[in-house]
A and B are shown apart, each in its own frame.
Chain A
Amino acid sequence: MAALQKSAYSYLMGTLAASYFLLMTLWVQEGAAVPVGSHCRLDKSNFQQPYINNRTFMLANEASMADNNTDVRLIGENLYHGVNISERCYLMKQVLNFTLEEVLFPQQDKFQPYMQEVVPFFARLNNMLRQCHSKSDAQQIQRNVQELQDTVRKLGESGEIKVIGELNLLFIYLKDACI
């Protein structure tokens, strides 16, 4: 360390630049060599469609008025508890998948006309994430998603309303995690 501190500024900068280059190379190579997990991305343009964004918020707004349970929240910070930032998109994919399969498809007749526009939108995102897999041991992710699923199932009908009331949060969390 002492030697490093004494060394010339230019030498230090050179080392830094070299390390940076090396890191970037490794990073790129890893990306190329390990395709698993690299599909956990959504293009920004998916979240730049004001019409469907508005519909999603309107739907969530309407459903949230039927949700009197203000203490229980499904999509929030604790969903990310113990989960690496790079794994968040995979986690949100799981949440999205559950939302579609167990809530949106069965409840499609409700909250019209929003549902008929919003469900295909989320189904499309779900499709785009089909190839998204976890890079590492996904136990913690499964636990967190399981907790959400248990909460919804335990609450029954009102749990499903809660899910719909949080579609704006699903939208924002997907956007943050996947673009």
Chain B
Amino acid sequence: MMPTHCFLAFLLSFYLPGVEETRPDPESLKPQRVHFQSRNFHNILHWQPGHACSSNSSIYSVQYKMYGQQQWKNKENCQSIQKFFCDLTNETSDIYEPYYGRVRMTSAGIHSGWSMTKRFTPLWETKLDSPVLNVTRVNGSLLVILHAPYFPYRNPKGKNSLMENYYELVYRVFMINNSLRKEDKVYEGVEKVIEIEAITPHSFYCVAAEIYQPMLDRRSQRSKERCVLIP
């Protein structure tokens, strides 16, 4: 029943502007809250069904473009889909560039208008997950091994090929003394294996890390603390 209802509502609202107060207008068929959610530079387009009719037969199609381009491109895997999200990570692959995405609903062969995101720049919007770390004792030092969140492989044109440099990210490692309630930053840089020297025997060391975006002074959540006892 719903598709027919939608169809009629759409037709009525389209051809009889006078009934707009009682019937959903094409505007309300459009997907709502179309926006990018970006984590670790994975950029996923999300939306919600329009106010008017969200039936099981509603399908969605997604397009995207870089700001300044005239043509919208179809996202291949997100044509006539029933879900409310679409992965545009590969299509929005230059983190410094502004992009747009848009979605429309189709029900019973009738298309809604397009709903567009605001301008989206991955560099500015993305949220970083914390790194995971392993700490081991090697002779008189602590060896900290960081496992960064998975960043999509980008083609850094002309930039340093080291991923962290392209993303302009650094790791920060902290040594935490829980009994003294103090912490020291012991490392900041792009390396993922860090040796901390000058540790004293018979003591307990806790280490945590975060990812830092110096350009915007943003940091990820702190990682879980890893503690080791030095015998």
Contact = CB atoms under 8 A, between A and B. Distances in A.
Which of B67, B70, B121, B216 has the most CB atoms of chain A within a 10 A radius of its CB? B67
Contact of A71 (B70, B124, B215): B70
A121 interface: no
Interface of A: 47-48, 50-51, 53-54, 57, 61, 64-65, 67, 70-73, 76, 165, 168-169, 172
A73 B216 contact: no
B214 interface: yes
A172 B217 contact: no
B70 A53 contact: no
A47 B67 CA distance: 23
Contact of B68 (A53, A57, A61, A73): A73
A169 B98 contact: yes
10 contacts: A47-B215, A53-B217, A61-B119, A65-B118, A70-B68, A71-B70, A73-B68, A165-B119, A168-B121, A168-B124
Interface string B108-125: 000000001011010010
Nearest to A51: B217
Per DSSP, chain A at the interface is helix
Per DSSP, chain B at the interface is loop
Interface in B69-118: 69-70, 96, 98, 100, 116, 118
A102 B108 CA distance: 51
B65 interface: yes
B165 to A, nearest CB: 13
Contacts of A168: 98, 121, 124
A54 B217 contact: yes
Contact of B216 (A54, A64, A67, A169): A54
A72 B70 CA distance: 8
Given A67-B119, A70-B116, A168-B121, 10 more contacts: A48-B215, A51-B217, A57-B216, A61-B119, A61-B124, A64-B98, A65-B118, A70-B67, A73-B67, A168-B124
